[in-house]
């Protein structure tokens, strides 16, 4: 049977490192990019007798995440030990949560702009949210260490071990690779909006395990669940699912029953590789952590209520209503939270916010990409960019001339935009002052003028160029063209 004859069921377990200064159960520094094994202590190394102390801020961030996603928080939440033996967990158990997690239920909205660019699933969606995916729960635990495997040996870095790790577990409610991509992108945006995490998948701040099963249409019982572990990008998750769905469909067509198992996705090879048959929860021998008391959550819930941020769909609607942005521009800005914050700061200093958005999306972003830097590293302040758009609006420079001015400002961030334009010879020119130059160009180029009047309007650009060359300071070419058009009666 073709893939379309099977019902695809997908569930995700997304692991997100919470943005905290210290680890979950000790005062060691949390973060990315430190020398291996430098931010460690007896507690996060699992030394005998070292006792954990709860990171209250990490608990608050988890409850806030649940609040943003419509979860409920039980009055009491407790901690459990998940026992397993592996080189990334020196204690041979992970402090986690089993039956009383911090957040229960909830849902993740799939935003229309979060789907892949070539996806058809969001086409025709009414509003910002295509649909909502149900969550099972969110629990908080400690991260394991980082293992790097080589040919015949492995290296372990315990810096990451003990970092607060939030696991967001969906219900089996996704049905396609494109929905999965949108789910990860939408969730990432919400986490960034709330200041929960930078959620950078390349840095391991957000990773996911993907569970997928197939069953023939009409069958109620789910097929065998196949899990693919530690996928570190949205595109990789999408590619892995496309492959795995086709693989399972092919084997089912050939009468090969699927067995619940764990597979590893090799993105370079473009295929999944079986690792082991899947453990069940009882294989981990969970039991209540004897070193940590349960958490009474009522005061935490009350505290974080005031910290609820503006969620992406509300932000999207406000960008359109407040700044009159086209939907496409709002999509782009909401898709990059930091870029959107930069835009709002620039718009506050401008009388033309729509044109500010256009410049940021089409010009500034291209410059950032070419220089391989983020908006956080941009030397132009939002106020400087607003002033740059302002001199376009004033007619001091054209759009193309403004690109040159931006280059000057890039190297001289504290410079005034008008002064930067003047350094290139661009100053506001009075229309009356141009009349004489325009009259002279018309008089000296009657052959070109006649051809323009006969309908060859492309030559109007040639006349504009002649006026520009003969003028000092350099005028706005748009103004020159308008004067020429009026004088030639076009």
Please compute the mean of the pLDDT values over residues 364-379 and round it to a whole number. 94
Q: Give the CA radius of gyration of the chain.
A: 29
Greatest C-alpha distance within the chain: 96
More confident residue, 167 or 33: 167
Q: Looking at residue 339, what is its pLDDT?
A: 95
Using DSSP's 3-state secondary structure scheme, residue 92 falls into coil
- What's the rounded Cα separation, in Å, for the pair 96 and 140? 6
Residue 413 exposed, middle or buried by CB count within 10 Å (0-12, 13-18, 19+): exposed
CB 106 within 8 A of CB 135: yes
Whole-prediction pTM value?
0.84
Q: Looking at residue 1, what is its pLDDT?
A: 66
Q: Looking at residue 202, what is its pLDDT?
A: 86
Query: Per mean pLDDT, which range of 3-12, 140-149, 386-395, 437-446 is the poorest?
Result: 437-446
Work out the pLDDT band at 477, boundaries 50, 70, 90: confident
List the beta bridge partners of residue 12: 210
b/e burial code for range 302-334 (CB count within 10 A of at least 16 → b): eebeeeeeebbbebbeebeeebebeeebbbbbb
| Of residues 347, 385, 330, 325, the one with CA closest to residue 189 | 330
More confident residue, 204 or 417: 417
- The rounded percent of the chain whose pLDDT value lies above 70 is 95
Q: Looking at residue 229, what is its pLDDT?
A: 87
Q: What is the pLDDT of residues 7-40, one digit of tens each?
A: 999 999 999 999 999 999 999 999 888 999 999 9
Please compute the mean of the pLDDT values over residues 336-344 and round it to a whole number. 94
Q: Looking at residue 422, what is its pLDDT?
A: 86
- What's the rounded Cα separation, in Å, for the pair 479 and 430? 9
209, pLDDT greater than 80: yes
Q: Looking at residue 482, what is its pLDDT?
A: 72
Q: Looking at residue 488, what is its pLDDT?
A: 72
CB 135 within 8 A of CB 168: yes
More confident residue, 414 or 488: 414
Per-domain residue ranges of the chain = 3-303, 310-423, 431-487
367, pLDDT greater than 70: yes
Q: Looking at residue 483, what is its pLDDT?
A: 73
The beta-strand segments (E) located in 317-370 are: none
Q: What is the pLDDT of residues 100-119, one digit of tens each?
A: 999 999 999 999 999 998 88
For CA atoms 219, 221, 227, 233, give the dihedral sign.
positive
51, pLDDT greater than 90: yes
| Of residues 207, 168, 162, the one with CA closest to residue 65 | 168
Please compute the mean of the pLDDT values over residues 129-148 and round it to a whole number. 95
| Of residues 37, 5, 44, the one with CA closest to residue 23 | 44
For CA atoms 479, 480, 486, 487, give the dihedral sign.
positive
Q: What contacts 116, CB < 8 A, 6 or more positions away? A: 178, 181, 182, 238
Q: What contacts 51, CB < 8 A, 6 or more positions away? A: 43, 291
Most confident of 61-75, 424-438, 465-479: 61-75
Please compute the mean of the pLDDT values over residues 137-157 and round it to a whole number. 94
Token couple for 469: 């060359």
Mean confidence (pLDDT) of the chain:
90
DSSP 140-176: EEE---EEEE-SS-EEEETTSTT-EEEEEEE-S-B-S
- The rounded percent of the chain whose pLDDT value lies above 90 is 70
More confident residue, 314 or 3: 314
449, pLDDT greater than 80: no
Token couple for 116: 């892949």
Q: Looking at residue 484, what is its pLDDT?
A: 75
CB 198 within 8 A of CB 27: no
- What's the rounded Cα separation, in Å, for the pair 488 and 490? 6
- Chain centroid to CA 379: how far? 22
Q: What is the pLDDT of residues 216-266, one digit of tens each?
A: 998 999 999 999 987 989 999 999 999 999 999 999 999 999 989 999 999
Work out the pLDDT band at 68, boundaries 50, 70, 90: very high
Q: What is the dihedral of CA 236, 237, 240, 244, to 10 degrees?
A: 180
């Amino acid at each position: 049977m073709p893939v379309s004859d099977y019902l695809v069921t997908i569930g995700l377990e997304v692991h997100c490192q919470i943005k905290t200064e210290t680890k979950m159960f000790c005062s060691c520094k949390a973060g990315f990019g430190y020398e291996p094994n430098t931010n460690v202590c007896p507690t996060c190394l699992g030394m005998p007798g070292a006792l954990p102390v709860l990171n209250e801020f990490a608990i608050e961030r988890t409850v806030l995440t649940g609040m943003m996603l419509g979860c409920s928080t039980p009055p009491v939440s407790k901690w459990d030990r998940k026992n397993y033996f592996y080189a990334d967990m020196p204690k041979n158990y992970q402090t986690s949560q089993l039956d009383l997690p911090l957040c229960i239920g909830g849902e993740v909205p799939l935003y229309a702009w979060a789907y892949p660019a070539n996806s058809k699933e969001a086409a025709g969606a009414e509003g910002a949210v295509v649909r909502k995916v149900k969550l099972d729960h969110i629990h908080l635990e400690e991260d394991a260490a980082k293992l790097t495997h080589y040919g015949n040996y492995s290296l372990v870095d315990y810096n990451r071990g003990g970092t607060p790790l939030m696991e967001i577990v969906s219900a089996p409610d996704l049905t396609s690779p494109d929905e999965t991509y949108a789910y990860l992108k939408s969730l990432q945006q919400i986490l960034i909006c709330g200041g929960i995490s930078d959620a950078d998948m390349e840095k391991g701040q957000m990773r996911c395990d993907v569970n997928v099963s197939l069953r023939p249409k009409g069958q109620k019982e789910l097929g065998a669940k196949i899990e693919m572990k530690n996928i570190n990008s949205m595109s990789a998750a999408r590619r892995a699912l496309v492959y795995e769905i086709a693989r399972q469909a092919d084997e089912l067509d050939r009468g090969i029953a699927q067995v619940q198992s764990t597979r590893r996705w090799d993105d370079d090879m473009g295929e999944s590789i079986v690792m082991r048959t899947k453990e069940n929860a009882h294989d981990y021998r969970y039991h209540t952590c004897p070193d940590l008391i349960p958490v009474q959550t009522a005061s935490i819930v009350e505290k974080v209520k005031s910290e609820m941020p503006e969620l992406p769909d509300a932000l999207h609607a406000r960008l359109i209503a407040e700044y009159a942005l086209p939907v496409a521009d709002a999509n782009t800005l909401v898709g990059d939270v930091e870029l959107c914050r930069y835009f709002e700061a620039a718009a506050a200093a401008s009388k033309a916010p729509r044109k500010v958005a256009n410049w940021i999306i089409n010009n500034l972003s291209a410059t950032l990409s070419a220089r391989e830097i983020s908006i956080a590293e941009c030397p132009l302040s939002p106020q400087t960019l607003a002033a740059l758009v302002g001199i376009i609006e004033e007619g001091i420079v054209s759009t193309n001339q403004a690109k040159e001015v931006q280059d000057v400002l890039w190297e001289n961030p504290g410079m005034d935009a008008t002064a930067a334009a003047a350094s290139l010879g661009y100053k506001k020119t009075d229309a009356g002052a141009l009349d004489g130059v325009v009259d002279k160009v018309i008089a000296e180029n009657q052959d070109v003028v006649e051809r323009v009047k006969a309908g060859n309007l492309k030559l109007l650009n040639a006349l504009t160029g002649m006026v520009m060359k003969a003028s000092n300071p350099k005028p706005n070419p748009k103004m020159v063209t308008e004067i020429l058009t009026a004088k030639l009666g076009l």
